[in-house]
A = this chain, B = another copy of it.
């Protein structure tokens, strides 16, 4: 797709230079909003308002939604009040609420002034909800039917109100805003009898989420049940909106990115990497680097404590990086696996004993295989091939026993901490590699020197 855009973009730029606006318009209307937005992002800023005005109203609004906040702000600042009003009228309420969240205060004021009173009310309603809640990603525009309606009345209502709704395919049956059930356009279409009542057709076993539910849980639910939309109810069980599958997909991607960033000791940010400047990236990265650097004081203290032993057997130092890295990698394998399973809802606190037992077995298998390989490697490569005579069989033994024990400790710590963090209400993703590595480093050094003391001195 990217290559395709480059060419299209080039053509569009030529047409823009030559002021062939009607040809330009003919091409734009054949394109998808997301692709048009990509063209806009590549264009020089001054030319965007002109190109934007060529788009038909509905397409203009759809393209607007797909743009990055910077460009949206630029366009809004150039809009007349009437133009702004026209774009707002075409937006779905949830997109309008997103826009309001992203814009600076003075732009927000203009948006809310130009939005019609009903939309202003609905935007404010959505904005009441905390970030990452179901309420904050829902739209208040959905098709609601009454239980007493007939199928043909339902179709009339869908036809009359459907044009402004993000999805019409799942219809919610409500009475006094209480959610009684749901039905789908598919079910309605496949029913022969036009006079049948909605109350007879609807499925009363409707799964809903609360406005304050975590958006990640909501997205996981939609993925689990394969729903197009999920109704959102308030604390009085009154229906206030729906979350649609496209927003759920975005949430799943965002949350995966967030987890990945946390696992790599990065403070998550909503801003894409290429659009962040060095100072913003620095702010995401320095907190954990600083904390982990300071906490490495402990490993330093452990080594200092064994300085005299190390001075007597300098060869032991050469194996410190290998032991630390193997321990760190073993631990992060366990922690990352467990963190992902928790994120996907596959693993809960009650599974902890099973998880620990699984990790102990895995650690024994990995420990035996790696220690054996390491023993052979040390004697064949370090001693024979590289001719390091300080590397005795006893040294190799100390290293390999340490390795096996380190792996065991690393796997147990790695699988336990995320589960405990989750149980205590913290984000398990923070308990990933860097954190585990620091703990495992200290433990592996203690084991190393204890065994060296016992066997070598």
Q: Using a CB–CB distance below 8 Å, which chain A residues touch chain B?
A: 1-2, 30-32, 34, 155, 158-159, 162-163, 168-169, 185-186, 189-190, 204-205, 207, 221-226, 228, 245-246, 248-250, 252-253, 256-257, 259-261, 263-266, 272-274, 277-279, 281-282, 285-286, 288-290, 292-294, 296-297, 299-301, 303-304, 307, 310-311, 314-315, 317-322, 324-326, 328-330, 332-333, 336-338, 340-341, 344-348, 351, 354-355, 358, 361-362, 365-366, 369-370, 373-374, 377, 381-382, 386, 388, 403, 433-434, 437-438, 441, 445
Contacts and interface: CB of A to CB of B under 8 A. Distances in A.
Given A248-B249, A260-B260, A297-B382, A282 B336 contact: no
A289 B189 contact: no
Contacts of A250: 223
A205 B32 contact: yes
Contacts of A30: 204-205
A325 to B, nearest CB: 6
A272 B403 CA distance: 28
Copies per assembly:
2
Given A245-B249, A307-B318, A329 B292 contact: yes
Contacts of A266: 333, 336-337
Given A266-B333, A300-B319, A325-B296, A273 B374 contact: no
Nearest to A403: B293
A441 B325 contact: yes
A169 B190 contact: no
The 3 A-B pairs with the shortest beta carbon distances in the complex, nearest first, are A278-B361, A296-B322, A264-B336
Contacts of A163: 190
A380 B223 CA distance: 53
Given A264-B336, A329-B288, A314 B311 contact: yes
Contacts of A278: 358, 361-362, 365
Given A325-B441, A336-B260, A362 B282 contact: yes
A264 B351 contact: no
A255 to B, nearest CB: 9
Nearest to A226: B246
Contacts of A340: 257, 260-261, 273
Contact of A322 (B300, B336, B433): B300
A2 B185 CA distance: 30
Nearest to A361: B278
